[in-house]
């Protein structure tokens, strides 16, 4: 299959939501016939035995017309879950967000090379490309409004992404029969499991609060091993921020700050999206009464799919990005 990152799709992805998380009748045991092969395949892929971002998004799309454009009208999901067209839209818009990040990821490598060669002109151009990529991510994220119904996302799709770690509806986790004598706690699929913003933060030198940093570090364990290694390579590379502070030209300092400002705008827009699809949708679900939609556990209302207390986390990472902006030189 064709994928941006050319990863093998998890062959058991379709069963990872079996416990139907967050509802009052949540299962606490994954049967042996599912648990054992699921864990074995996950070990081969280097991933935890749960639906992750790489399963649902990175390896879960294909082109309808192989020669056609990489646009939502020419894309289809490979494996689906309940949620209909909203689930399809959620997956494919997220695929396009990853596509929008590709020039930015390439710019990181170009910028690091420029720092090593003390080439300020190349560094400036790389930072400009990174800013444009971040801005394109923000614009692409806006397509969620066109393709994903908030009520369907909140009541249906999110349940299958909730996981069984930091989930008040499943405080003991999930027993994988035939695998472990104790329940396992795994976080659900989350945008925090995407390599993109981790890489941008490492490159730009954004330092998060201890609580947020701990959560983000845990999310790296849900990335394909090569993606996690890529972030670690950026972390060990020469520091862009130190270069800007010590030797960088004024134009590079300005370009660096513009990258951070674009990242702040992206994170602010993400807060708007989450407010619509989680907080506001939760309030609407409470007031709706009887409905054809499932009624998710109220314990999950303020939780992101990865288990974070979502708005406080998103505001924290946004504010820390803002604090990273450097004063301009006189």
Joined together, the tokens standing for residue 135 give 């801005």
d(CA 202, CA 221): 16
CB 173 within 8 A of CB 187: no
C-alpha to C-alpha distance for 189 and 51, rounded to whole angstroms = 6
Query: Cα-atom radius of gyration of the chain, to the nearest Å?
Result: 20
Beta strands in the chain (DSSP E): 29-30, 61-63, 75-77, 175-176
What's the Cα-to-Cα distance from 216 to each of 70, 228, 314, rounded to whole Å? 29, 12, 11
Q: Cα separation of 302 and 311, whole Å?
A: 8
Place of tokens 């992101």: 304
CA distance to 58, 61, 74, 206, 321, per residue, from 1 (Å): 11, 8, 15, 35, 36
270 marked as binding residue: yes
Give the side-chain half-sphere CA count within 13 A for 84: 9
How many CA atoms lie within 13 Å of 13's alpha carbon, on the beta-carbon side?
Answer: 22
Residues paired with residue 207 on neighbouring β-strands, in sequence order: none
How far is Cα 261 from Cα 172, in angstroms, rounded to an integer? Answer: 41
CA atoms within 13 A on the CB side of 313: 21
Q: Name the DSSP letter for residue 71.
A: S
Point out the annotated binding site. Answer: 270
Which positions make up the binding site for heme b? 270
């Amino acid at each position: 299959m064709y994928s941006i990152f050319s990863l093998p799709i998890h062959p058991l992805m379709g069963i990872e939501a079996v416990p139907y998380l967050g509802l009052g009748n949540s299962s606490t045991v994954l049967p042996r016939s599912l648990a054992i092969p699921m864990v074995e395949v996950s070990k081969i892929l280097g991933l935890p035995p749960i639906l992750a971002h790489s399963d649902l998004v990175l390896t879960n799309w294909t082109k309808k017309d192989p020669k056609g454009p990489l646009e939502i009208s020419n894309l289809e999901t490979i494996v689906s879950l309940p949620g209909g067209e909203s689930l399809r839209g959620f997956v494919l818009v997220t695929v396009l967000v990853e596509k929008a990040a590709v020039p930015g990821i390439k710019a990181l490598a170009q910028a690091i090379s420029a720092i090593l060669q003390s080439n300020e002109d190349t560094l400036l151009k790389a930072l400009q490309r990174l800013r444009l990529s971040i801005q394109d991510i923000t614009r692409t994220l806006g397509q969620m409004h066109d393709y994903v119904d908030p009520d369907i996302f909140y009541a249906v799709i999110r349940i299958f992404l909730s996981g069984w770690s930091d989930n008040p509806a499943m405080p003991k986790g999930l027993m994988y029969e035939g695998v472990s004598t104790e329940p396992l706690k795994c976080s659900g699929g989350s945008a925090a499991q995407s390599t993109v913003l981790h890489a941008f933060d490492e490159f730009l030198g954004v330092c998060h609060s201890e609580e947020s940093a701990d959560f983000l570090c845990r999310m790296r364990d849900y990335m394909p091993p090569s993606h996690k290694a890529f972030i670690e390579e950026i972390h060990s590379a020469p520091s862009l921020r130190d270069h800007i502070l010590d030797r960088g030209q004024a134009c590079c300092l300005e370009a660096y700050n513009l990258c951070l400002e674009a990242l702040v705008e992206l994170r602010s827009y993400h807060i708007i999206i989450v407010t619509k699809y989680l907080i506001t949708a939760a309030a609407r679900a409470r007031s709706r009464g009887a409905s054809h939609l499932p009624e998710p556990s109220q314990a999950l209302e303020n939780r992101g799919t990865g288990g974070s207390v979502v708005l406080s986390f998103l505001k924290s990472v946004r504010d820390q990005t803002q604090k990273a902006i450097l004063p301009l030189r006189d």
